[in-house]
Amino acid sequence: MSVTILNHSLIKHKLSIIRKKETKIKDFYQNVNEIAGLMAYEITRDFPLREIEIETPICKSIQYELALDVVIVPILRAGLGMVDGIRSMIPTAKIGFIGLYRDEKTLEPHEYYAKFPDITKDSIVLVVDPMLATGGSASAAISLLKEKGCKDIRYVGLVAAPDGIKRLQNDHPDVSIYLAAEDEKLNDVGYIVPGLGDCGDRLFGTK
């Protein structure tokens, strides 16, 4: 499936802010959310609509509303940093959660939590996580959602390494990938270069 890099000037500007090592928790969180909101605006451009009859103060009129349920599924913890921004664009979206942590040595993902609202086969599921490094976490989260019967799954991330993109395309060729940036590579401990460091730690003040 497609890989879309959202080359928007505001996204690039805000991405530079979160990449800077001196950016502190408040500005880091705010800009992650704002990028997520801008990305949601672009990604939802072609979401299906249905006609509805409404009444304006002047007359009856046929207008439009989103036809399908949208479910946002952040991968904990760092994915939580993107939820408010996307909700500000799609306030009717439901939220599910998948808790995964990456083993620091093996880089393998381990699941510790999962909770979902009702998801139908018609729901559009946005899996959100700022960092796509080896792709192990995103791939595991999407496999879990497929086991639950999700059909239309889209991955939304901020910064990706080429390895992560390849892994996701290989494991889940049916999933569209939306990113703010594709970076150069992974370093020898599995961090994205140039990246932005440990996103969960910078969002939540740990370490």
Active-site residue set: 102, 106, 198, 201
Sign of the alpha-carbon torsion through 127, 129, 134, 140: negative
Q: Convert residues 8-47 into a mask of x (bound to ligand PRP by CB under 6 A) and - (unbound).
A: ----------------------------------------
Interface map 61-90 toward ligand URA (x if CB under 6 A): -----------------x------------
User: In the complex with ligand PRP, which residue's Cβ is closer, 5 or 107?
Assistant: 107
Q: Backbone phi, then psi, for 38, in 5-degree steps?
A: -65, -40
Q: Does residue 107 contact residue 136 with C-beta atoms inside 8 Å? A: yes
Angle between helices 9-19 and 25-43 (to 10 degrees): 150
Instruction: Find the binder of ligand URA among 133, 138, 158, 160 (CB under 6 A).
Output: 133
Tokens of 139: 């791939």
The pair phi, psi for residue 40, each rounded to 5°, is -60, -40
Q: Please check whether residue 73 is in contact with residue 127, taking contact to mean a CB–CB distance below 8 angstroms.
A: yes
Helices 25-43 and 80-89 meet at what angle, rounded to 10? 50
Within 124-143, the residues that bind ligand PRP by CB under 6 A are: 129, 131-138
Q: Which of the listed partners (ligand PRP, ligand URA, none) does 192 bind, with a CB threshold of 5 to 8 Å by partner kind? A: ligand URA
State which of residues 85, 96, 109, 195 lies at the interface with ligand PRP (CB under 6 A): 109
Task: Round to whole Å and give the CA distance between 6 and 8.
Answer: 6
Q: Is 97 in the site for ligand URA (CB under 6 A)?
A: no
- Could you tell me which residues come within 8 angstroms of residue 110 by beta carbon, excluding any fewer than 6 positions away? 100, 101, 102, 103
Question: Which of 185, 159, 118 is closest to 36 using CA atoms?
Answer: 159
The verdict on 200 binding ligand URA (CB under 6 A) reads: yes
Stretch that binds ligand URA, among 8-16, 20-28, 33-41, 191-199 (CB under 6 A): 191-199
**Site size for ligand URA, by CB under 6 A?**
9
Find the shortest distance in angstroms from Cβ 163 to ligand URA: 11
Q: What residue ranges bind ligand PRP (CB under 6 A)?
A: 75, 77-78, 100-102, 107, 109, 129, 131-138, 164, 190, 199-200
